[in-house]
Structure formats: structure tokens, C-alpha cells
Amino acid sequence: MPTIDEVLEQNLTPAQRAAAQDSAPEVLCLACAGSGKSRTLAFRIARLVAQGEAPTGIVAFTFTVKAAESIKRQVARALLAAGLEPTILGAMYIGTIHSYCQYVLGEMNARYRQFDVLDENRLKLYLISRYPQLGLQRIRQAHGTGFFDTIKEVSNAWKTMNDEMVQPANVTAHDPDLGRVLEDLPVRLDADNFIDFSLMVRLVVDALARNDANAQRAVRNLRHLMVDEYQDINPCQEVLIRELHGASSTLFCVGDDDQAIYSWRGADVNNILSFQRRYGASSTHTLSHNFRSTPAIVQAADGLAAAELGATRIAKNPTADQLPGSRDYRVLWFDLRAEEGEWVAGRIRDLLGTAFQERDGTVRGLTPADFAILMRSTRYEEQDGLPRHTAFTQALQRLGIPFTLKAGGTVFDRPQVAVLRGTFDLLRDQSPARPVAQNHFNTVVLPAFPQADFSRFAKVLADWGRLIHGPAGGPRRRVYPQRLVHDLLNAFGIQQANFDAGVMGDLGIFSRIIQDVEAVYLSIDSAQRFQEILNFLHNVADSGYDTGTDDVLTAPDAVTVSTVHQVKGLEYPVVFVCDVEAQRFPGRRGSYEGWLPAAVIQAAIGRGAYQKTREEEARLFYTAVTRAERYLYVTGSASLPGGKSVRKQSPFSLRGRLEIG
């Protein structure tokens, strides 16, 4: 059996191996796009275990749950290569910061194990359900905003306050109404056994900072702390990492400042830029070889980052191999958006079936899933009222090329899901009369659900009309909206329908939305509660649940049409970065507009957080082009749908054109 260092030598490059073996107390691993950072992290974990470190002492933070699962698989392979049993994975922690903090809170106080966790949508539902108790009407009047804008802004203010570690009393000093709400919110959440992501991190940070005995006991086994995607850490998370490192022997942070694309929600790229200054005895390793992309793509991406970011970035001087097979990199400019869309779809058609050699030497033909059309935004409307992706998706449809739209539509774009919501609406004010139900069934339900049965449908409406609009004054009843979904789908003949995976997947997302409702609302046994849920479905859920959120890694064999943020961490043989015009990509600069008083987050505003900046746009463009393996096309148009002015080329695409001569 080879030694662990021999295993590393067989599986890692010299640069990766040096990072994986470094035993310094603090290590920063700068990893260019496509340089194998996850592989390096996985073998570092395997090496620690092989050297006798207890798995229970290893904690690795990832940005998402899916990233955690990917790293766990790589760690399992690394453990097997080292002759170790992969089941020991269960003894270590590899997951998100939020889940780890949830564990620590449960160890601190068993009450927290019973708490329901509120994500962004559930937090908004909670605010809706407690609107009068929290006094949100007073804030709404003070700001002159609508109901759901108030919900959104209070939710954002709460999360920002926690992420920036602002004290509620400081908010109250500048905005008494908002401050009172933010002071009252944690008390009500605790009383109702709820906690949101931002609060769980802050509570652990506060406990560790004051040397809470229970918190210290919860992390007493920690010996080796690792952080993936370090460039995306916000201030509160950074304090958590610093507090945890007080208990750990080593800290290993891996990331790429050029891919820091979340400052708009509070991430601080300075964490990675200032690492060496803050940890004077630290080691730094750079993984500069890109195994994903062609030299032309790597050169263009690095050239743009260097030109746009200058001294505000860490230079990494990336390299790449001349990959076998065909390749292409072009920057193209069209007169009309329709022409751009037709060219992109036509190029995909022409490349389908083209021989593509994988890194392991396997040769296959390109299929639709090998293509991605990436945009700064897919959902925002053009001046003709249609979403920005329309020219591209319609061109694909005309050529019969399957595609999947990520972060570009809503679940309610699916007719079957829209019918479910529309049928909920029938019950808003009363139990509908038979002619109303019959008309809705004939004109709305049957076109989407041909197997639907009117008699069963009418009975569902009658039963639920009684449940929702029962007389006031009686005892509370348990009325669950998920049951309404189930009853309606049965009446719609869902078991006899032969819907494809896309329809069933979106119906599943609607069911998850209703699960979120049930997590906050104990029951919908009154017209008011039911109306609040309907308002949520129309005003929050419509944009809060993307159709592509859950299946981007398990997509069907179809072209991906997506925002750049949605595909971070993924790669495609062929990438089109489209809609690249001046004032589109990069977008216009935008100042801070949140309700949390600017005076209490001056440090965040000073670093460009919660705003739209040219620097973040450049990093986003860098992230977009580095998704490409062999083929990269950057496109834009002078005339946009419904627009009257002539657009100029983006400075980003012009820089790319210079790179390729």
C-alpha cells in the first residue's frame, strides 16, 4: 500500500500537492478557475486522516449544499486511494456554515433543535403572518411603500444588520420605527421557535465571542478548519471563522478573488485580499494552471481581470494546456437582437454532434447539454415587454433544440402550476357557485389537465370552501394547504396524465412553496389567513422560486439558458455570453438603497457592498467566460427589442476582442 504522500504525488500536481501538505497554522490557497481546488481540498482532508487526525476534528465549510456533496464524493475517492475506509466521512463535518451553526446552537441549548429554519422566502412569510404584531404598518407609512415592498425591505434590513453585525440599538438611533421592529423580531422568532440563516450565524458568533461555556464545549473537538469559496464570506461569517480558528490548530482557506461575485449581498472580497496581512505567519499557494479551458480563453479572462481590477486583485498568471480537438473563441457584434439570437441557435445546431475529446481521452459527440447561453440577467423585460432571454429561446424553439431556462422564468410560467394557483384564487372570498366553478373548469383547468373530472373538482371546492370560510368564533382547526394541493391534483387526474419531468418538477416546486407556507402558518382555517397566502403566491413566490433552482446539476439533455450567478462552479464545452452591451454588461452603477440606515453600515458601503459596482461586474464577466472549456462566443447587439437608441459595444467585449487580435 502506498504512503499518503505517494498517493498525493500520483493524484495531484506539484502546486496542488504543496497546498494539500502544508502544515502551517494558516494557509491561503488561491485557486484560478478550473485549477482543481476541490480536488486539493479533498486530498488535504484524506492526508490529515491518514496521518492519524481524528475525523471528528475536521470541519470544512462549503458555499452550498451541492458543493458539499461534490466535495464529499471527492474526499471518499481520496480516502479510497489512500487505503482508508470512506465511511469515516460521517464523523467529519463537510457542509454549509449555516448548518454547522445550527448544530452548534443545538449543542448549546436543546431548544434550538426544535426550531424551524426560515430561508429567505419563509422569512418573508413570517413577516407577512406577523405584520400587525411587528408594527410594520407604521414603517410602511413612513416610507410610503406598498405592502410587499415593505416586507422585502424589512427582510433585507434584518439580514444585513446581522451579516454586518450591527446592533439594533444603533439602528434605532437613526430610524426608531425600523429599529423597534429589528429589536422585536428576534424575540418573536424565539418565542415562535423560528430562526433564520443570518440569526443562527450571529448567535454562534456572539456566544463564542463572550466565551459561552456551552458554545466552547460544542466546538471543543475542532482541530482543522477549512473554508471553500473564501471570497464569498461576509463579515459575520469571517468573525465566526476567526473565533473557530481560536480553537483549531490549522485554518485552510481556498478561493479566487477574481470570482467574488456576491458583494451585492454582503460578501467581502477583502477577506481574501488581506489574509496574508492578518495572518503574518501564513503560507500562500497559487493553483494557476487551468485544466478546463483553452489558452485563448484563459488569456482573455485573465487579461480582462487585470485591466479592470488592476491593483485591487491578486495576480495569478494562469496557464492552460493546448487541448486536443477543435476550439473557437470569437467576439461578435450584431445589428439586431433577433440576428444575435438566430446566430447563436444556428451555431449550436452546427456544433451538435461535433467530436469532443474529454480530458481522459474519451471522444464523443456534443449534445445539447454541452451548451450554455449565459446572460447578466434573463428575467428582466426588454422594452417590448418580453424577457431578455426571449430572442434566444425562441430561436432555439424554431430549430427544435431543447433548452432549460435557469433563473429566467418562474414556476408559474408553467400552465399546470398557474392553474393550481388560479384555482386557489377561486376560494379567496367565498366558496364559488357552480356556474363559476364550471366556467373555470372548462376554460382554465381542462386545457392544462385534460384528464380532470368536474364532479370531483366541484366537491373539492365545496369541501375547502367550508373549511376556509367557516363561521368565526369556534375552536382553531388544522387546515393544511398541502392537502388542498393534493385534492386538486387528484381531481385534475394527475395520476392518469402523462406529463414530462419538467411539468412534474414544477408541480413539485409549487408543493415546496406550500410546505414553506405550512412551516410558518399553523393553519389556514380563516379567510384572512388564506388571503395572506394567496398574496404571497402572487407577490413573493412569483419571483422567489426559480424554475431552475434545484436541478441545474441534473438537467436533462438540453441547452442551458441561465444567469451567470446560477452556473457558478459549473463548466460547459461551449459557452455563449450574450446580451453584452454597454450599460447591460457591465450594468450601470447603483448606490445603496436599503432601509438599514447608511450611517450604521458605512464600512460596508465603503467596500462596495449592497451596491452595483464596475468591479463586481468585471468579476462576474470573468466568471462567465471561465465556464467555457473549448468554445467561447461573446455576443451583443446594437438594437435591442423595443429600444430606440443604438447600443454601444461593452468595454468587456472590446477587451476580449483585443485579446484575440
- Residue 365 bridge partners (DSSP): 355
Percent of the chain clearing pLDDT 90 (strictly above):
76
Domain pair 4-105+202-287 / 308-409+553-659, same fold: yes
**What distance in Å separates the CA atoms of residue 398 and residue 605, rounded to the nearest whole number?**
46
Cis peptide before 235 (omega within 30 of 0): no
**What distance in Å separates the CA atoms of residue 261 and residue 403, rounded to the nearest whole number?**
26
CB 138 within 8 A of CB 554: no
pLDDT > 70? residue 415: yes
Q: What value does the mean pLDDT of the chain take?
A: 92
Provide the whole-model pTM: 0.89
pLDDT at 409: 64
Give Cα separations from 204 to 65, 112, 123, 214 (angstroms).
20, 12, 19, 10
**What distance in Å separates the CA atoms of residue 445 and residue 432, rounded to the nearest whole number?**
15
> Nearest-CA neighbor of 563 among 397, 401, 411, 389?
389
Q: What residue ranges do the domains of the chain occupy?
A: 4-105+202-287, 116-192, 308-409+553-659, 412-544
pLDDT > 90? residue 379: no
Element (H, E) at 173: helix 168-174
- Residue 116 bridge partners (DSSP): 194
Q: Tell me the average pLDDT across 626-631.
A: 96
Q: Tell me the average pLDDT across 493-509.
A: 85
pLDDT at 408: 55
Element (H, E) at 65: helix 65-81
Sign of the CA dihedral with 507 first, then 511, 514, and 516 last: negative
Q: Tell me the average pLDDT across 396-416.
A: 84
> Nearest-CA neighbor of 392 among 380, 381, 378, 406?
378
Non-local (6+) Cβ contacts of 41 within 8 A are: 20, 29, 60, 71, 74, 226, 228, 252, 254
217 alpha-carbon distance from chain centroid: 32
pLDDT tens by residue, 188-233? 999 999 999 999 999 999 999 999 999 999 999 999 999 999 999 9
CB 302 within 8 A of CB 316: yes
Q: Tell me the average pLDDT across 372-387.
A: 89
**The architecture CATH gives domain 308-409+553-659:** 3-Layer(aba) Sandwich (3.40)
pLDDT at 84: 87
pLDDT > 70? residue 657: no
* Cell 440577467, located at residue: 377
Non-local (6+) Cβ contacts of 496 within 8 A are: 451
Q: What is the pairing mode between strands 224-227 and 250-255?
A: parallel
CATH fold for the domain made of 4-105+202-287: Rossmann fold (3.40.50)
Non-local (6+) Cβ contacts of 517 within 8 A are: 125, 481, 524, 533, 536
The dihedral formed by the CA atoms of 291, 548, 483 and 119, expressed in degrees to the nearest 10: 70
pLDDT tens by residue, 66-123? 889 989 998 898 888 888 888 999 999 999 999 999 999 999 999 999 999 999 999 9
pLDDT at 628: 96
Q: What is the DSSP string of 442-459?
A: IIIIHHH-TT--HHHHHH
pLDDT tens by residue, 295-326? 999 999 999 999 999 999 999 999 999 877 88
pLDDT > 70? residue 546: no
SS3 487: helix
Sign of the CA dihedral with 13 first, then 16, 22, and 24 last: positive
pLDDT > 50? residue 661: no
Binned at pLDDT 50, 70 and 90, residue 660 comes out as very low
